[in-house]
Structure 1
């Protein structure tokens, strides 16, 4: 039995008219009649009888009236109690770059707004994060990818993240304004781990251009990559936010990587079937910013 029927029952009891109830609730009169009939079938009793032009409660209807009021009241109270909940958990899958250089100030602001929420960060690469969100193992993912689109997901493109070629300050590439794919010929590359989307983009661009490089080192840790560059062991492709402070102190050189495939965006993804609680929505608004579409043309889901 639906609470909707009880709400209709209360309105008929109040107005004494199926017609007036239908007008007030925006139903067809036949719909009001059907709802009352289904209530009567459910309770096995006649709830209204006609006196002239008005509908009056029977004795059974009078008994139900008190219960109906309590049920509607309790339903309203339960909705308020549930919607006011500020506790619970939020599980976020993200890559090391986002966890270290993008999320911390947002997580701090979120904690201030919802101190009872337990936030869990799960590291991984983009393919693993996407599948975990799809499977419901994670509430949302924060990824660094070309514009992401999937019919099962809402996607919020937060901002474009520039990628840079990182070198020792004395390296020959440190003296140019931007690095092209051809400039990397003969260089020793220090790569991120397999599964990293911008690593895949770089290797694909090198192959397409027929540019030969030496694949010297591979790390799953950004600090290890930066330290190898500091010691002149090679060059690396990294998000600019990862090396911004090091470059400003002259520890490393960071030059924009100029390539048409090098368009990467910080994006929030979550499943369309995911229930969005108040804390969840606050996190989306906090991190995602304004709704609408950005330069990536990725639809914001807020």
Structure 2
């Protein structure tokens, strides 16, 4: 029964709300409140507190959270072993762009083979995804970065991806076969959030070249960035996998950076000590499909 309480606690933390947690778990809100109260009684501490309109973990709650996620993950792992890995929950942490443009058709084929496995995609920043995999709240993680190295995690490079300067087809730079960083001086930039690895790379390279970037707009999703470019509001910087359709349609221009040496890869990460039943091994193989 305590695992049920822990699952409810984690869901409330994730949602920041009793109401949304109740909707996601299929409980009445009164049941959520009662389960949290029972859990606080078990641990002898207040675990959640109201901040503004949402619920946030207290110091005790923050201390419990990684252990709660590990206990739930271990329970799912044991169920997977007992069932042969064909039932249970497969939690995948993924940055927003990979969740939108890389995962869908691969998960479609995987679901056909393993209908008994519930797939749970957890969006987040790279740091959050790596932490989730290490803490076992995610079974696998998908990141986009230079090669990631860890003593705890396996990192499989699934595919190398080129990064492009993105412009409207009528932009003065659109006909250039490649662009130097100096040509971005003064250009209004439309960028992703500041936790994005390739945004950090671009700004670092501009700084190294003595260029002060002109950041006019920031978006938390790539569709917003692409629409802004199509409206000729500025120039963006995106990976090839996120703009394949627009390049085919000719609605944007994708121009490589001259002399770019840094290599970025779509990478699948998971714990080195992770038990891999056949269904999990097949998931890894499916992620490697080009």
TM-score by structure 2 length?
Answer: 0.69
Contact 1:163 1:256 in 2 (8 A): yes
Equivalent in the alignment of 1:93: 93
User: How far apart, in 2, do the equivalents of 1:228 and 1:289 lie?
Assistant: 32
Equivalent in the alignment of 2:220: 220
User: How far apart, in 1, do the equivalents of 2:85 and 2:269 lie?
Assistant: 23
After superposing the two structures, state which structure 1 stretch, 141-150 or 268-277, moved more.
268-277
Summarize the alignment of residues 112-191 of structure 1 with structure 2, pairs less than 5 Å apart: 112-191=112-191
User: How far apart, in 1, do the equivalents of 2:148 and 2:212 lie?
Assistant: 30
Contact 1:181 1:259 in 2 (8 A): no
1:106 aligns to 2:126 (yes or no):
no
Contact 2:164 2:237 in 1 (8 A): yes
Deviations 1:257-297 (A, max 9, x none): 2343541100000011222122111101121359xxxxxxx
Equivalent in the alignment of 1:287: 287
Deviations 1:217-276 (A, max 9, x none): 111011111111111111000011212211222211111223435411000000112221
Summarize the alignment of residues 10-159 of structure 1 with structure 2, pairs less than 5 Å apart: 82=82, 84-159=84-159
Q: Secondary structure at the match of 1:260?
A: coil
Equivalent in the alignment of 1:11: none
Q: Secondary structure at the match of 1:216?
A: strand
Contact 2:165 2:257 in 1 (8 A): yes
Q: Secondary structure at the match of 1:194?
A: coil
**5+ residue gaps, structure 1:** 1-80, 291-302
User: How far apart, in 1, do the equivalents of 2:261 and 2:200 lie?
Assistant: 11
RMSD over aligned Cα, in angstroms?
Answer: 1.6
User: How far apart, in 1, do the equivalents of 2:284 and 2:95 lie?
Assistant: 18
User: How far apart, in 1, do the equivalents of 2:228 and 2:245 lie?
Assistant: 17
TM-score by structure 1 length?
Answer: 0.67
- Report the alpha carbon displacement of residue 179 of structure 1 after superposing the two structures with TM: 1.8
Q: Secondary structure at the match of 1:275?
A: coil
User: How far apart, in 2, do the equivalents of 1:226 and 1:193 lie?
Assistant: 14
Summarize the alignment of residues 211-250 of structure 1 with structure 2, pairs less than 5 Å apart: 211-250=211-250
User: How far apart, in 1, do the equivalents of 2:106 and 2:179 lie?
Assistant: 32
Larger radius of gyration: 1
Contact 1:185 1:213 in 2 (8 A): yes
User: How far apart, in 2, do the equivalents of 1:192 and 1:107 lie?
Assistant: 25
**5+ residue gaps, structure 2:** 1-80
Contact 2:84 2:277 in 1 (8 A): no
Contact 1:163 1:262 in 2 (8 A): no
Deviations 1:22-59 (A, max 9, x none): xxxxxxxxxxxxxxxxxxxxxxxxxxxxxxxxxxxxxx
Q: Secondary structure at the match of 1:212?
A: coil
Equivalent in the alignment of 1:299: none
User: How far apart, in 1, do the equivalents of 2:123 and 2:259 lie?
Assistant: 28
Q: Secondary structure at the match of 1:174?
A: coil
CA change 1:141–1:202 in 2 (3 A) is: same
